[in-house]
């Protein structure tokens, strides 16, 4: 059974810092991995999708990497801003779970002005 773990559970940084969020998964047989952002009480916004054959994806100040063999992904946020404050979730779509996504518990990020 796929398990997804995110570290740290919470992170508080001053504005302007570069930061890294970590995601690990137990079964490397995946189709892809997605990073999402969730604002309090809201739905999920897709940030980046990395296919199993890819090593990284970039969108603006965000860069996500994938090391499938070691079961790890990182989300790098450059020059953080208060508007980046949210919960960040990673999810994997495993080959043994059909189209289901398995989610981590999330990292709650606070960027202080």
Partner 1 sequence: SAVISQKPSRDICQRGTSLTIQCQVDSQVTMMFWYRQQPGQSLTLIATANQGSEATYESGFVIDKFPISRPNLTFSTLTVSNMSPEDSSIYLCSVLWSNTEAFFGQGTRLTVV
Residue 62 lies near partner 1 (rule: CB under 8 A):
no
CB of 89 to partner 1, least distance (A): 7
Q: Residues of 81-102 as b/e, b for ≥16 C-beta within 10 angstroms?
A: eeebbbbbbbbbbbeebeeebb
Query: Measured from the CB atom, is 43 or 113 closer to partner 1?
Result: 43
Report helix, strand or coil for 22.
strand
Scanning residues 76 to 105, which ones bind partner 1 (CB under 8 A)? 89, 91, 93, 99-101, 103-105
Residue 113 lies near partner 1 (rule: CB under 8 A):
no
Residue 34 lies near partner 1 (rule: CB under 8 A):
yes
Pairing status of strand 107-112 against strand 10-14? parallel
């Amino acid at each position: 059974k796929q398990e997804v773990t995110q570290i740290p559970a919470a992170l508080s940084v001053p504005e302007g810092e570069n930061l890294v969020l970590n995601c690990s998964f137990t079964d490397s047989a995946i189709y892809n991995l997605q990073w999402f952002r969730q604002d309090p009480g809201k739905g999920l916004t897709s940030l980046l999708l990395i296919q199993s054959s890819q090593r990284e994806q970039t969108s603006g100040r965000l860069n996500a990497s994938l090391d499938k063999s070691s079961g790890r992904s990182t989300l790098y946020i450059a020059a953080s801003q208060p508007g980046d404050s949210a919960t960040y979730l990673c999810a994997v779509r495993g080959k043994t779970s059909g189209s289901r996504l398995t989610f981590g518990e999330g990292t709650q990020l606070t960027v202080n002005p």
